[in-house]
Amino acid sequence: MELHQTSKAQTIGRIILGLILLTAGIGHLSWARVEFLAQVPDWVPLNGDLVVILSGIVEISMGLSLIFWSSQRVRVGWLVALFFVLVFPGNVSQLITHTNAFGLNSDLLRGIRLLFQPVLVIWALWSTGAWAAWRKK
């Protein structure tokens, strides 16, 4: 996949998103583990704690990749966007089951959070140049 030039703003956005994912991933494995466990839907056919650990490892890997693996940033951008799509059902489940976590203690707050998931997808695709690379094909 051809590497397309990105702007300084995109590079900064990619690094910030990487830091957010890195921090969240570390949180999965430490201080925020219980909060993340509350977001794992009951219908997931795996142990909830295992899901939290594995998703934390994935987030750490994606965060580091966004920050340091710039030669593959387009591919990483698509993977990060896909990750945000795949975790969306967990966020919907948190709303439907009225589960409190991360200060989201009302349906209004949980609903507002759902609106930000597409922003994360767009952020991943924009900041890595993945969307522009796809459009140029």
Is residue 1 very low, low, confident or very high in pLDDT (cuts 50, 70, 90)? very low
Q: For residue 1, tell me if it sits in a domain.
A: no
d(CA 11, CA 107): 35
The number of distinct structural domains making up the chain is 1
The pLDDT of residue 119 is: 96
Average pLDDT, the chain: 90
Q: For residue 136, tell me if it sits in a domain.
A: no
Collapsing DSSP to helix, strand or coil, 44 comes out as coil
- For the chain, the first-to-last Cα distance in angstroms comes to 10
Which tokens in the block code for residue 29?
């494995």
Assessment of whether the complete model's pTM goes beyond 0.85: yes
Q: Could you list the residue range(s) of the whole structural domain that residue 72 is in?
A: 8-128
d(CA 132, CA 29): 34
Q: For residue 134, tell me if it sits in a domain.
A: no
Is residue 81 very low, low, confident or very high in pLDDT (cuts 50, 70, 90)? very high
Selected residue with higher pLDDT from 57 and 102: 57
- Could you read off the pLDDT of 49-69 as tens digits, one per residue? 999 999 999 999 999 999 998
For residues 27-46, give the mean pLDDT.
88
Written as one string, the DSSP assignment of 68-101 is: H-GGGHHHHHHHHHHHHHHHHHHHHHHHHTT--B
